[in-house]
Protein backbone atom coordinates (compact mmCIF):
# COMPACT_ATOMS: atom_id res chain seq x y z
CA UNK A 1 0.00 0.00 0.00
CA UNK A 2 1.56 3.33 -1.04
CA UNK A 3 0.86 6.86 0.20
CA UNK A 4 -1.55 7.55 -2.65
CA UNK A 5 -3.85 4.63 -1.82
CA UNK A 6 -7.21 5.49 -0.22
CA UNK A 7 -7.22 5.23 3.55
CA UNK A 8 -10.16 4.18 5.72
CA UNK A 9 -12.09 6.91 7.50
CA UNK A 10 -11.11 7.49 11.12
CA UNK A 11 -12.54 9.68 13.81
CA UNK A 12 -11.73 10.04 17.47
CA UNK A 13 -14.04 11.10 20.29
CA UNK A 14 -13.76 14.19 22.48
CA UNK A 15 -16.03 14.28 25.50
CA UNK A 16 -16.13 17.96 26.43
CA UNK A 17 -17.53 18.84 29.83
CA UNK A 18 -18.17 22.06 31.64
CA UNK A 19 -17.21 22.02 35.32
CA UNK A 20 -19.93 21.64 37.89
CA UNK A 21 -21.69 24.57 39.54
CA UNK A 22 -19.72 26.98 41.74
CA UNK A 23 -20.60 29.97 43.89
CA UNK A 24 -19.02 33.10 42.39
CA UNK A 25 -20.67 35.59 44.77
CA UNK A 26 -21.51 35.47 48.46
CA UNK A 27 -24.99 36.14 49.82
CA UNK A 28 -24.55 39.90 49.48
CA UNK A 29 -23.29 39.66 45.90
CA UNK A 30 -19.62 40.25 46.77
CA UNK A 31 -17.43 38.33 44.31
CA UNK A 32 -15.05 35.53 45.24
CA UNK A 33 -11.80 35.10 43.31
CA UNK A 34 -12.86 33.12 40.21
CA UNK A 35 -9.42 31.49 39.99
CA UNK A 36 -9.87 29.69 43.29
CA UNK A 37 -13.57 28.89 43.75
CA UNK A 38 -14.36 25.18 44.32
CA UNK A 39 -17.49 23.31 43.38
CA UNK A 40 -20.49 23.90 45.60
CA UNK A 41 -22.77 21.08 46.77
CA UNK A 42 -24.79 21.19 43.56
CA UNK A 43 -21.63 21.17 41.46
CA UNK A 44 -20.31 18.10 43.26
CA UNK A 45 -23.58 16.31 42.58
CA UNK A 46 -23.44 17.31 38.90
CA UNK A 47 -19.88 16.04 38.48
CA UNK A 48 -20.76 12.73 40.13
CA UNK A 49 -23.85 12.38 37.93
CA UNK A 50 -21.73 12.84 34.81
CA UNK A 51 -19.25 10.27 36.07
CA UNK A 52 -22.08 7.80 36.66
CA UNK A 53 -23.17 8.13 33.02
CA UNK A 54 -19.67 7.39 31.77
CA UNK A 55 -19.31 4.49 34.20
CA UNK A 56 -22.60 2.85 33.16
CA UNK A 57 -21.42 2.82 29.55
CA UNK A 58 -18.02 1.45 30.51
CA UNK A 59 -16.24 4.35 28.82
CA UNK A 60 -12.48 4.66 29.29
CA UNK A 61 -10.41 7.75 28.62
CA UNK A 62 -6.93 7.77 27.12
CA UNK A 63 -6.33 11.28 28.42
CA UNK A 64 -8.13 13.57 30.88
CA UNK A 65 -7.37 17.26 30.45
CA UNK A 66 -8.44 20.24 32.57
CA UNK A 67 -7.60 23.93 32.59
CA UNK A 68 -6.01 23.53 36.01
CA UNK A 69 -8.49 25.81 37.76
CA UNK A 70 -9.81 24.07 40.89
CA UNK A 71 -13.38 23.72 39.63
CA UNK A 72 -12.26 21.77 36.55
CA UNK A 73 -9.84 19.55 38.45
CA UNK A 74 -12.46 18.74 41.11
CA UNK A 75 -15.03 17.91 38.45
CA UNK A 76 -12.62 15.60 36.62
CA UNK A 77 -11.63 13.94 39.91
CA UNK A 78 -15.26 13.19 40.74
CA UNK A 79 -15.91 11.81 37.26
CA UNK A 80 -12.93 9.47 37.58
CA UNK A 81 -14.04 8.40 41.04
CA UNK A 82 -17.16 6.97 39.37
CA UNK A 83 -15.40 5.40 36.37
CA UNK A 84 -12.68 3.97 38.69
CA UNK A 85 -10.00 4.75 36.16
CA UNK A 86 -6.60 5.62 37.65
CA UNK A 87 -5.36 8.16 35.13
CA UNK A 88 -3.34 11.33 35.50
CA UNK A 89 -5.35 14.55 35.23
CA UNK A 90 -3.48 16.89 32.91
CA UNK A 91 -3.40 20.68 33.15
CA UNK A 92 -3.45 22.80 29.98
CA UNK A 93 -3.51 26.47 31.09
CA UNK A 94 -4.29 27.70 27.57
CA UNK A 95 -7.76 26.24 28.09
CA UNK A 96 -8.59 28.42 31.10
CA UNK A 97 -11.84 30.38 31.05
CA UNK A 98 -12.02 33.79 29.37
CA UNK A 99 -10.53 36.23 31.85
CA UNK A 100 -12.48 39.19 33.17
CA UNK A 101 -11.12 42.49 34.44
CA UNK A 102 -11.87 44.36 37.65
CA UNK A 103 -15.61 44.66 38.12
CA UNK A 104 -15.22 47.88 40.11
CA UNK A 105 -13.79 49.67 37.05
CA UNK A 106 -16.85 48.97 34.87
CA UNK A 107 -19.30 51.86 34.71
CA UNK A 108 -22.91 51.46 35.74
CA UNK A 109 -24.00 52.26 32.19
CA UNK A 110 -21.96 49.42 30.65
CA UNK A 111 -22.21 46.88 33.49
CA UNK A 112 -24.99 44.71 32.10
CA UNK A 113 -23.42 44.61 28.64
CA UNK A 114 -20.06 43.69 30.21
CA UNK A 115 -21.68 40.67 31.86
CA UNK A 116 -23.88 39.34 29.06
CA UNK A 117 -22.53 40.82 25.82
CA UNK A 118 -19.81 38.22 25.29
CA UNK A 119 -22.42 35.45 25.18
CA UNK A 120 -25.04 37.09 22.99
CA UNK A 121 -25.44 35.67 19.48
CA UNK A 122 -22.49 35.66 17.07
CA UNK A 123 -19.96 37.67 19.05
CA UNK A 124 -17.36 39.97 17.47
CA UNK A 125 -13.74 39.22 18.32
CA UNK A 126 -13.17 42.66 19.84
CA UNK A 127 -15.91 42.13 22.44
CA UNK A 128 -14.50 42.17 25.96
CA UNK A 129 -15.63 39.93 28.79
CA UNK A 130 -16.17 41.85 32.03
CA UNK A 131 -13.67 44.48 30.94
CA UNK A 132 -10.93 41.86 30.47
CA UNK A 133 -10.00 39.53 27.63
CA UNK A 134 -11.63 39.83 24.25
CA UNK A 135 -13.27 36.96 22.40
CA UNK A 136 -10.40 37.13 19.91
CA UNK A 137 -7.84 36.68 22.68
CA UNK A 138 -9.80 33.68 23.96
CA UNK A 139 -9.78 32.11 20.48
CA UNK A 140 -6.05 32.84 20.18
CA UNK A 141 -5.49 30.60 23.22
CA UNK A 142 -8.08 27.90 22.79
CA UNK A 143 -7.98 27.01 19.10
CA UNK A 144 -4.21 26.31 19.03
CA UNK A 145 -4.71 24.20 22.16
CA UNK A 146 -7.30 22.07 20.37
CA UNK A 147 -5.02 21.82 17.31
CA UNK A 148 -2.25 20.60 19.62
CA UNK A 149 -4.55 17.95 21.05
CA UNK A 150 -5.59 16.74 17.61
CA UNK A 151 -1.94 16.48 16.55
CA UNK A 152 -1.27 13.94 19.31
CA UNK A 153 -1.71 10.35 18.14
CA UNK A 154 -1.77 8.66 21.55
CA UNK A 155 -5.52 8.84 22.18
CA UNK A 156 -8.83 7.63 20.81
CA UNK A 157 -11.10 8.99 23.53
CA UNK A 158 -10.29 12.09 25.57
CA UNK A 159 -12.16 13.85 28.37
CA UNK A 160 -11.82 17.64 28.49
CA UNK A 161 -13.23 19.34 31.59
CA UNK A 162 -13.28 23.05 30.88
CA UNK A 163 -15.48 26.15 31.07
CA UNK A 164 -18.60 27.71 29.55
CA UNK A 165 -16.78 30.27 27.42
CA UNK A 166 -14.03 27.88 26.34
CA UNK A 167 -16.55 25.19 25.47
CA UNK A 168 -18.49 27.66 23.33
CA UNK A 169 -15.30 28.47 21.43
CA UNK A 170 -14.63 24.78 20.76
CA UNK A 171 -18.20 23.83 19.83
CA UNK A 172 -18.54 26.94 17.64
CA UNK A 173 -15.45 25.92 15.71
CA UNK A 174 -16.65 22.32 15.45
CA UNK A 175 -20.04 23.44 14.09
CA UNK A 176 -18.79 25.99 11.59
CA UNK A 177 -15.23 24.98 10.76
CA UNK A 178 -14.39 28.66 11.10
CA UNK A 179 -13.15 31.09 13.71
CA UNK A 180 -16.59 32.06 15.00
CA UNK A 181 -17.89 32.44 18.55
CA UNK A 182 -21.54 31.53 19.01
CA UNK A 183 -22.31 33.00 22.41
CA UNK A 184 -25.83 31.61 22.65
CA UNK A 185 -24.71 27.98 22.81
CA UNK A 186 -25.80 27.01 26.31
CA UNK A 187 -23.37 25.11 28.51
CA UNK A 188 -25.03 24.00 31.74
CA UNK A 189 -22.84 23.25 34.76
CA UNK A 190 -21.65 19.65 34.59
CA UNK A 191 -22.86 19.20 31.01
CA UNK A 192 -21.33 16.83 28.45
CA UNK A 193 -20.70 17.45 24.75
CA UNK A 194 -19.66 14.66 22.38
CA UNK A 195 -17.51 15.71 19.42
CA UNK A 196 -15.77 13.49 16.87
CA UNK A 197 -12.68 14.69 15.03
CA UNK A 198 -11.28 13.33 11.80
CA UNK A 199 -7.97 13.78 10.06
CA UNK A 200 -8.58 17.22 8.54
CA UNK A 201 -8.77 20.52 10.39
CA UNK A 202 -12.47 21.08 9.76
CA UNK A 203 -13.49 17.42 9.89
CA UNK A 204 -15.74 17.50 12.95
CA UNK A 205 -19.00 15.76 13.79
CA UNK A 206 -21.01 17.26 16.65
CA UNK A 207 -22.84 14.31 18.17
CA UNK A 208 -24.35 15.93 21.24
CA UNK A 209 -24.23 19.22 23.11
CA UNK A 210 -25.19 20.44 26.57
CA UNK A 211 -26.34 17.06 27.93
CA UNK A 212 -26.79 17.64 31.67
CA UNK A 213 -27.21 14.23 33.39
CA UNK A 214 -28.57 15.73 36.62
CA UNK A 215 -31.07 18.03 34.85
CA UNK A 216 -32.00 16.42 31.55
CA UNK A 217 -34.63 18.85 30.26
CA UNK A 218 -33.44 21.85 32.33
CA UNK A 219 -37.07 22.93 32.93
CA UNK A 220 -36.18 25.64 35.44
CA UNK A 221 -33.37 27.22 33.40
CA UNK A 222 -34.49 30.27 31.45
CA UNK A 223 -31.76 32.79 32.27
CA UNK A 224 -28.15 32.38 31.17
CA UNK A 225 -25.38 31.87 33.70
CA UNK A 226 -24.12 35.41 33.11
CA UNK A 227 -27.60 36.90 33.53
CA UNK A 228 -27.89 35.17 36.90
CA UNK A 229 -24.41 36.36 37.93
CA UNK A 230 -25.23 39.90 36.84
CA UNK A 231 -28.30 39.93 39.07
CA UNK A 232 -26.26 38.58 41.99
CA UNK A 233 -23.48 41.14 41.60
CA UNK A 234 -25.93 44.00 41.12
CA UNK A 235 -27.16 43.54 44.71
CA UNK A 236 -23.62 44.07 46.00
CA UNK A 237 -22.94 46.98 43.63
CA UNK A 238 -26.11 48.78 44.63
CA UNK A 239 -25.44 48.23 48.33
CA UNK A 240 -21.89 49.59 48.08
CA UNK A 241 -23.01 52.65 46.14
CA UNK A 242 -25.46 53.53 48.95
CA UNK A 243 -22.79 53.40 51.68
CATH number for the domain spanning 165: value is 3.40.50.1240
pLDDT at 243: 62
State how many domains the chain has: 1
Residue 202 lies in a domain: no
Residue 204 lies in a domain: no
pLDDT at 4: 63
Q: Determine contact, residues 188/210, Cβ cutoff 8 Å.
A: yes
Question: How confident is the chain (243 residues) per 10-residue block, as mean pLDDT?
Answer: 67 98 88 92 98 97 98 98 97 97 92 93 96 97 98 97 98 96 96 96 96 92 89 84 68
State which residues form the domain around 63. Answer: 12-22+30-197+223-242
Tell me how far apart the alpha carbons of residues 111 and 128 are, in angstroms, rounded to a whole number: 12
Tell me how far apart the alpha carbons of residues 215 and 228 are, in angstroms, rounded to a whole number: 18
Residue 152 lies in a domain: yes
Tell me how far apart the alpha carbons of residues 226 and 243 are, in angstroms, rounded to a whole number: 26
Residues 6+ apart with CB under 8 A from 82: 48, 51, 52, 54, 55
Residue 211 lies in a domain: no
Q: Determine contact, residues 134/128, Cβ cutoff 8 Å.
A: yes
Residues 6+ apart with CB under 8 A from 62: 154, 155, 156, 157, 158
pLDDT at 159: 98
**Cβ of 190: how many Cβ atoms within 10 Å?**
30
Tell me how far apart the alpha carbons of residues 196 and 232 are, in angstroms, rounded to a whole number: 37
The string of pLDDT tens digits covering residues 40-86 is: 999 999 999 999 999 999 999 999 999 999 999 999 999 999 999 99
Q: DSSP of 195-227, one letter per residue? A: EEE-SSTT-EEEEEEEE-TTSTT-TT--S-HHH
Tell me how far apart the alpha carbons of residues 218 and 2 are, in angstroms, rounded to a whole number: 52
pLDDT at 25: 86
Residues 6+ apart with CB under 8 A from 24: 31, 32, 34, 37, 229, 232
Residue 1 lies in a domain: no
Residue 207 lies in a domain: no
Residue 65 lies in a domain: yes
Residue 36 lies in a domain: yes
Residues 6+ apart with CB under 8 A from 110: none
Residues 6+ apart with CB under 8 A from 60: 83, 85, 157
Amino acid sequence: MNDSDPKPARRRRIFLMRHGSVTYFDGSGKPYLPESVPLNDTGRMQATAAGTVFAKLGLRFDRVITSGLPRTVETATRVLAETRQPIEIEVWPELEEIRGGRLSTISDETLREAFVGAFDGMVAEDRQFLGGETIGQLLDRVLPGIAKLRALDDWETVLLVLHGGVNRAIVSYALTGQRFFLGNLSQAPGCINALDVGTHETDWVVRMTNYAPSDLLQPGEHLTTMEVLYDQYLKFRNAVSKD
